[in-house]
Amino acid sequence: MKQEIRCIEKQFLLAIKSNDLISIKLFQVNDNYFGYPENNLWIIDGGITLKLKDTTYSLAWNQDTDSFSFENQCFEKIYEDDNYTEIDIEGLKGCNQNKITNAKLKWTDYDIILDYTMATKKESKLTEIIIEFESGDFLQIATVDYTLEKNSSPKNYSYDIHGELLISLNNIIEINNID
């Protein structure tokens, strides 16, 4: 599995060096999502697609694994149902047609249940990407869980491939590792 991770990470890093970001697309499965445009922060549950000039990468909900999956293909190939909507986020449009100068990927090890016997194996899963643009902007994408209290915004973020997707522009949100 580590070789597969290194391979997709290496492919992604090579792709961003030779391609401009054409567009960012966000997808939502359930009816509602959290949006805090004044803080450039959104929490969605479907996924994100990064369309580059020559290729596409998505971090999207995968029904087969019941978790987020990072793949070299569009959202619709990973999430196979048609019960989603594309979310139009005005605040992210400035990232389109922008050159990516750097990206950092964070992988976290998870015990994945293999079958009904509850046998497990350890797999590394992508939990965060931080993308830096030539314009000076940066984008944080992370699979998270969080605490939500009545009449407040989400807080106490932790990495979780079974949770939701945090999208933050120009504001790195502190996220704790799962214990």
Tens-digit pLDDT profile for residues 41-72? 999 999 999 999 889 999 999 998 899 999 99
Confirm whether 177 is domain-assigned. no
Give percent above pLDDT 90 in the chain: 66
Confirm whether 72 is domain-assigned. yes
* Least confidently predicted of 130-134, 147-151, 156-160: 147-151
Confirm whether 48 is domain-assigned. yes
**pLDDT beyond 80 at 3:** no
In this prediction, residue 17 has a pLDDT band, given cuts at 50, 70 and 90, of confident
Confirm whether 135 is domain-assigned. yes
The parent domain of residue 35 ranges over 2-169
Confirm whether 174 is domain-assigned. no
Confirm whether 176 is domain-assigned. no
What does the chain come to in residues? 179
Count of domains forming the chain: 1
